[in-house]
Amino acid sequence: MSNRAFALVVFAAAAGIIAASRLVTNDYYFSAAYTVLQFVILATAWNILGGYAGYVNFGSAAFFAVGAYSSVFLYRWVHAPLPVMIVTGTLVAGLLGFGVGYLTLRLRGVFFAIATLALAVVLFTCVVNWDYVGGSRGAYILQPKDLPFGLKRYIHVLFGAMVLMAGVALVVARTIETSAIGRGLAAIRDDELAAECAGVPTLRLKILAASVSGALMGMAGTTFPYYLSYVEPSAAFNLSYAVNSIAMPLIGGMMSWMGPLLGALLLGTVQQVVQVTVSSEWNLLIVGVLLVAFVTLAPNGIMGWVDKWKRRRK
Amino acid sequence: MDFPTALVLNAIIAGLLLGGLYAAMSVGVSISFGMLDVVNIAHPGFIILGSYIAYIVNARLGFDPIAVGIVVSPLFFALGMALYRVYYLCFERRGQESLRGLAFFFGILFITEVALILVFGVDYRMVSAAYQDTTMRLGPVDFPMRLVVPFLVAMAMVIGVEIFLTRTFFGRAVLAVAQDSLALRLMGVDTLRVKEFAFALSIATAGMAGVLLVVIQPVQPAIGREYIGLVFAVCVLGGMGSIRGTLVGALILGLAESFTATFAGPSWAPAVSFGILLGTLAFKPSGLFGR
């Protein structure tokens, strides 16, 4: 399937999902689906740098929070409309990703991973000490009263935006994967030195992957302030975003765009169910246990099983 | 403005004493990460586990936390051995340690944290010991025993590890594995056993460091992750795999944090270690005492 056809299919599916959601009356499902979709974006975005290029980013929460806090900033400053917030947050997080891409120039493997973790804590401390966006006390964001398209509640707007953004993330990921960029990134993942020698523009590709990955993670965060109506640093920088965006691609499979999607849908849904039926601590424990179990027992994730099964049938 | 001598002196002493604790926390990472190339990002998780064991025994039976730490360190040693076995079988042998090994330890860190939250909740826990409330005064400078006793224990532990590694046969074997594991294997040494022992030692130091931590300040499960940056910053700043470097790096970091807390406010303190880490990684990745 060409990328254009894929984009058509994805956005047709997105439109279908939004249309079908008009039949759902219980608002809880919108809220739950919003969270799952947010993880679809995070996992897909993480996989662009982590899965395709092999650079582990522990700082997903930082990008997410940058998206969220740029929205808070715009809200306080000019009460910007939602689309402006989404675009701005995406761009700011993309810039941060650009900087992280430059880090890969000197830092390989583990050092890169630790540097991204460090980056998250440094940004966290800066936000805690920045009073304009609420500091450690957090900031209240009021959801707009007037709703577009005759929707009844604001969560419906957020859900629609999230479906579209998830579609964008999937299309971007697949376009990168199937193009020369994706092959270049795969070469970097397998052997960076050899790729460099073979003429792959490694630095340019890594910076591109880091920027796109960061931008998409930031995009997932832009609607977060409206979703909760209240943002505080430890919620926006929550470590569970970092763990989930690593666990989901690992569980689904990191070689294609389908892996993170599967992983996020599966793990995200399980978490929602556990959160409602048991407790939110248990749901985090399950993520950790599943991550460790998959990484030790099924290193190629669910898609690895699928591939094996396909090969056996041939 | 007159120069606040007493304030500066106190900041220096507090920083050095804190640096002792940081050395104890980081010496294990220096072994596992610096020498064995095992990126044990879960190290702070085991530190917090040590704190909680000291807390339980102290609260239930009233034993001195540091004595508890010494008694349970064989348990941590065994835990480290088991963990390395799993790590070796699942990742190192298959050559997948970089990405999946990292994710594995990240998951372990997360599990210890959430499991502790499930059992004990998110309240801060502390221990009580006889020396905690006394403070020695030398002129304008305070020496709180709460910091001095852990500092002395930490120094003993770090220097003990250094002597073990440089003076004993087995310790030198660990250094040899760090230098060239393949050459050692060609000489017929069971490098797996050496690495397992060294990793177990690093986890044992984590348990002890946790005990020292809970003597100094109250502990709750989620603070573990704040120390990830710290232990790796110390390790990288001092130079990979150098115990002496780790000690110097820890003292520098302790001083830096103490000065930031005194002159810019404690809310900026976490940024210091991570800032130093980022700076070291970007400008001098080999560290102060790097090989």
Could you tell me which of A164, A216, A163 has the C-alpha nearest to residue A52?
A: A216
DSSP structure class, residue B125 = B
Residue type at A241?
Y
Check residues A179 and A108 and name the one with the higher pLDDT: A179
Write the DSSP symbol of residue B238. Answer: H
Structure tokens at B184: 């050692």
Q: Residue B96 has what pLDDT?
A: 66
Q: Quick check: is B168 in a domain?
A: yes
- Domain membership flag for residue B139: yes
| Residue of B86, B107, B232 lying closest to A288 (CB–CB) | B107
Nearest to B80 by CA among B48, B40, B117: B40
Q: What is the pLDDT of residues B261-273, one digit of tens each?
A: 888 877 777 778 7
B77, part of any domain? yes
| Tokens representing residue B158 in the block | 């770090």
| Mean pLDDT for back-to-back runs of 10 residues, chain B (291 residues) | 73 90 92 87 92 91 87 93 90 73 86 88 81 77 84 93 91 88 85 91 94 90 81 85 89 89 78 79 73 55
Distance CA B27, CA B231 (A): 8
Residue in the structure block whose two tokens are 């070689």: A255
Q: Is B130 exposed, middle or buried (0-12, 13-18, 19+ CB in 10 A)?
A: exposed
pLDDT in tens, A179-225: 999 999 989 888 888 888 988 888 889 999 999 999 999 999 998 88
The CA distances from residue A130 to A78, A85, B71, B189, in Å, are 18, 19, 45, 56
Residue A3 distance to chain B (closest CA, Å)? 29
Q: Which helix (H) or strand (E) holds A22?
A: none
Q: What is the mean pLDDT of residues A118-123?
A: 83
Interface membership of A56 toward B (CB under 8 Å): yes
Choose among A204, A171, A122, A202: nearest CA to A14: A171
Query: Quick check: is B290 in a domain?
Result: no
Overall average pLDDT of the A107-111 stretch: 75
Amino acid at B229: G
Q: How confident is the model at residue A80 (pLDDT cuts 50, 70, 90)?
A: confident
pLDDT for A312 equals: 84
Per the structure, how many domains does chain B have?
1
CB contact under 8 A, A243 and B282: no
Res B35: pLDDT: 87
Chain B, 197 to 256: residues with Cβ < 8 Å from chain A are: 225-226, 228-229, 232-233, 236
Cβ contact (<8 Å) for B99 and A136? no
- Chain A interface, best mutation among B90, B97, B106, B226, by max A CB count within 10 A: B106
Reading the block at residue B182, the tokens are: 């393949």
Residue with tokens 């120390």: B227
**Residue A275: Cβ within 10 Å count:** 17
Please indicate, yes or no, if residue B289 is contained in any of the structural domains: no
The residues spanned by each domain of chain A are 3-238
> Cα–Cα distance between A38 and A65 in angstroms, integer?
13
CB pairs A-B closer than 8 Å: 119
CA distance A59 to A57: 5
Q: Which residues of B touch A295 (CB under 8 A)?
A: 90, 100, 103-104, 107
| Structural element, H or E, at residue A230 | strand A230-231
Q: Is residue A96 a contact partner of residue A216, using CB atoms and an 8 Å limit?
A: no
pLDDT digits (tens, 9 = 90+) for A271-289: 888 888 877 778 778 888 8
Task: Give the domain CATH number at B261.
Answer: 1.10.3470
DSSP three-state, residue B142: strand
Query: Where do the H-state alpha helices sit in A79-145?
Result: 82-103, 109-128
Chain A residues close to B110, C-beta within 8 Å: 239, 243, 284, 287-288, 291
pTM: 0.85
For B157, the domain range is: 5-283
Residue B288 resides in a domain = no
Please name the residues in contact with A11: beta carbons below 8 A apart, sequence gap of 6 or more: A164, A167, A171
Q: Does any domain span residue B178?
A: yes
Q: What pLDDT sits at residue A44?
A: 94
- Closest Cα to residue B21, out of B197, B290, B255, B240? B255
B100 is a domain residue = yes
